[in-house]
Amino acid sequence: MSKQFDILVIGGGPGGYVAAIRAAQLGFSVACCESNPYADLKGEPRLGGTCLNVGCIPSKALLHTSHLFEEAAHGFAAQGIEVGTPKIDVKKMLARKAEIVDKLTAGIKGLFKKNKVTFLAGHGSFAGQTANGWKVRVGDAEVEAKNVIVATGSKARHLPNAPVDNRIVCDNVGALDFDSVPKKLAIIGAGVIGLELGSVWRRLGAEVTILEAIPDFLPAADADVAREAQKLLGKQGLKFQFGVKIGEVKTSKKGVTIAYSDKDGKAEKLEADRLIVSVGRVPNTEGLNAEAVGLKLTERGQIEVDAHCRANLSGVWAIGDVVRGPMLAHKAMEEGVMVAERIAGQAGHCNLDLVPGVIYTTPEIAWIGKSEQQLKAEGVAYKVGKVPFLANGRALGMDAPEGFVKMLADAKTDRILGVHIIGAGASDLIAEAVTAIEFSGASEDLARICHAHPTLSEVLHEAALACDKRALHF
Ligand code: FAD
Ligand code: NAI
């Protein structure tokens, strides 16, 4: 007799585990299966998916350590702190990162217990339909559920001419675990991973060169922000080559050689000790047995879903990286909550137009809503309030004067259409902008709100004032 549940979630990443917990809160009997190779102390697959095991959390831990290292090496002296030349103990840095991952992934198992979600270790694959739901094989067992939420996430896209061994040629998994700081590090792809992990290893002493296929830098960001980011990251020492075409990638005992043609078509070679391939991610649908049960995929291999993450089969839903939309943990979680609530007959909703984007470089980059180039292309009349962090006392006190906040508001109605930040604390500051836009706020609404002094949030306040040409401190 197979185990029976109201809901089976396939995949225990941020989308899946949040969907499972919310569904249990709503009174359903819920199971979540997970098959990743990252085992906990009991030898069971760890929950948390890409995000907790080999993504958001470990990368932010390394960003923090490397930031402190850089401050000690280059920032402390100007403030009268003398520590000599700092040294990095990579093993210890990785152990700290691993401890955080262990704590958080174990924490999710604890949350499952608390919420009475059944954890099933094993790979989930559709086995067929039943009278009122689905049969799914989980490892060697069979499970029946009225609803199935597919939350199988994504994995790194690899290039055919650059086989990843996660030793010399690495994707995100190996790039978070170098056992020493490479002298020379090459990166293919100047996207989010390239910039964040490129920053980590550069701060620790690597000479980093990033090879990017397209001619533009961060095309999804506001062009002003992208320009400023390229300038600041370049000044920190990241080297960029745009418009390249990658050729043969050869590894040897000494390292790796990447043949490529530059933007003018000239043949070039880059030698490095290690290479990170960060050229986007592909949805995980392998082994789901999707075709056999008629689960429809898009041309890009994602599970096709409607605005509420309903797939083409009755009682089947899909969320997170395995469906359309930005591949971000907070988007996956929002969809998880929405689907659980929809199954319960509630009005769950996820606004894909208002998913904030953050890049955790120094300075941080964060945005929400439309960019200036998007508004121009759409022919929307807008006004701009742009204020630099340089004019903010807290930013100067923190020795973080770089960057700006740029607010875009509708020229007629004053409704905020987009906020783009490059500067200290951008990842947290953006939350106020998201709230304002979700509430259909105007720049005047933010301008009339009292912001604590001295805080970085005053830059956002000033940007709102600047939309009406009445900034007080700039
Ligand atoms: P995943 O986290 O990929 O989880 C899916 C899970 O399903 C996996 O554990 C997988 O093993 C399991 N699975 C797959 N198939 C099956 C199956 N058939 N049966 C059972 N289990 C299965 N996002 C942010 O928002 N902020 C960040 O700072 C950030 N940093 C990142 C840094 C890096 C280096 C990387 C690689 C990604 C980062 N991301 C970040 C993206 C984020 O990790 C993903 O968007 C998020 O993890 C997606 O969640 P998910 O639940 O859809 O999928
Ligand atoms: P990405 O999509 O951010 O960037 C990939 C880059 O590689 C692009 O600039 C693309 O033009 C380039 N590229 C593609 N093919 C190439 C080729 N053959 N040669 C050279 N360049 C090539 O993807 P990335 O950095 O791999 O990250 C994957 C995803 O993970 C992100 O899109 C994001 O959704 C998520 N992520 C989010 C983070 C955050 O929120 N802070 C941090 C890291 C990852």
Query: One of 74, 349, 453, 473 is an active-site residue; which one?
Result: 453
User: Is 402 in the same domain as 439?
Assistant: yes
Q: Report the pLDDT value the prediction gives residue 424, as an integer from 0 to 100.
A: 98
Task: For residues 62-90, give the mean pLDDT.
Answer: 97
User: Is 15 in the same domain as 149?
Assistant: yes
Task: For residues 184-200, give the mean pLDDT.
Answer: 98
Which residue segment(s) compose the domain that 436 sits in? 363-466
* 54 vs 61: CA distance, rounded Å: 11
Give percent of the chain with pLDDT exceeding 90.
Answer: 99
With a threshold of 0.85, does the pTM exceed it? yes
What CATH code is carried by the domain that includes residue 252? 3.50.50.60
Q: What is the pLDDT of residues 29-62, one digit of tens each?
A: 999 999 999 999 889 999 999 999 999 999 999 9
Q: Report the pLDDT value the prediction gives residue 253, as an integer from 0 to 100.
A: 87
Q: How far is CA 168 from CA 53, 99, 127, 279, 456, in A?
A: 20, 25, 39, 17, 41
Residue 406 located in a structural domain: yes
Task: For residues 430-448, give the mean pLDDT.
Answer: 98
Distance 193 CA to ligand 2 centre (A): 6
In the listed set 279, 300, 325, which residue is the last one of a domain according to the structure? 279
Q: What is the pLDDT of residues 245-303, one digit of tens each?
A: 999 999 998 899 999 999 999 999 999 999 999 999 999 999 999 999 999 999 999 99
User: Is 258 in the same domain as 320?
Assistant: no
User: Is 266 in the same domain as 291?
Assistant: no
Tell me 46's DSSP state. P
Tell me 44's DSSP state. P
Whether 408 has a pLDDT exceeding 80, the answer reads: yes
Task: For residues 383-391, give the mean pLDDT.
Answer: 97
Q: Which of 1-10, 318-327, 350-359, 420-429 has the lowest mean pLDDT?
A: 1-10
The mean of the pLDDT values for the chain is 97
List, in order, residues 6 or more apart from 408 with CB less than 8 Å away: 369, 370, 371, 372, 375, 382, 383, 384, 416, 417, 418, 419, 420
Question: How buried is 308 (Cβ within 10 angstroms: 0-12 exposed, 13-18 middle, 19+ buried)?
Answer: middle
Residue 472 located in a structural domain: no
Task: For residues 436-459, give the mean pLDDT.
Answer: 98
Distance 440 CA to ligand 1 centre (A): 31
Label residue 239 by pLDDT band (50, 70, 90).
Answer: very high
Determine contact, residues 163/246, Cβ cutoff 8 Å. Answer: no
User: Is 124 in the same domain as 63?
Assistant: yes
Label residue 330 by pLDDT band (50, 70, 90).
Answer: very high
* Pocket test residue of 63, 258, 278 for ligand 2, highest count of atoms within 8 A of CB: 278
Instruction: Give the number of whichever ligand sits closest to the CA of residue 319.
Output: 1
User: Is 189 in the same domain as 329?
Assistant: no
Q: What is the pLDDT of residues 154-181, one digit of tens each?
A: 999 999 999 999 999 999 999 999 999 9
What is the length of the chain? 474
User: Is 272 in the same domain as 216?
Assistant: yes
For ligand 2, atom 28, the nearest C-alpha belongs to 280
Whether 1 has a pLDDT exceeding 80, the answer reads: no
Please state whether the peptide bond connecting residue 454 to the residue before it is cis, i.e. omega within 30 degrees of 0.
Answer: yes
Ligand 2: residues within 6 Å at CB?
Answer: 159, 188-194, 196, 211-214, 246, 278-281, 326-328, 358-360
How many Cβ atoms sit within 10 Å of the Cβ of residue 116? 12
Beta strands in 123-280 (DSSP E): 124-130, 133-138, 141-150, 154-156, 169-170, 184-188, 207-211, 239-241, 245-251, 256-261, 267-272, 274-277
In the chain, the number of structural domains is: 3
Label residue 372 by pLDDT band (50, 70, 90).
Answer: very high
In the listed set 300, 330, 353, which residue is the last one of a domain according to the structure? 353
For ligand 2, atom 40, the nearest C-alpha belongs to 358
Q: Report the pLDDT value the prediction gives residue 41, as an integer from 0 to 100.
A: 87
Q: Say whether 330 is catalytic.
A: no
Q: Report the pLDDT value the prediction gives residue 2, as an integer from 0 to 100.
A: 85
Task: For residues 129-156, give the mean pLDDT.
Answer: 97
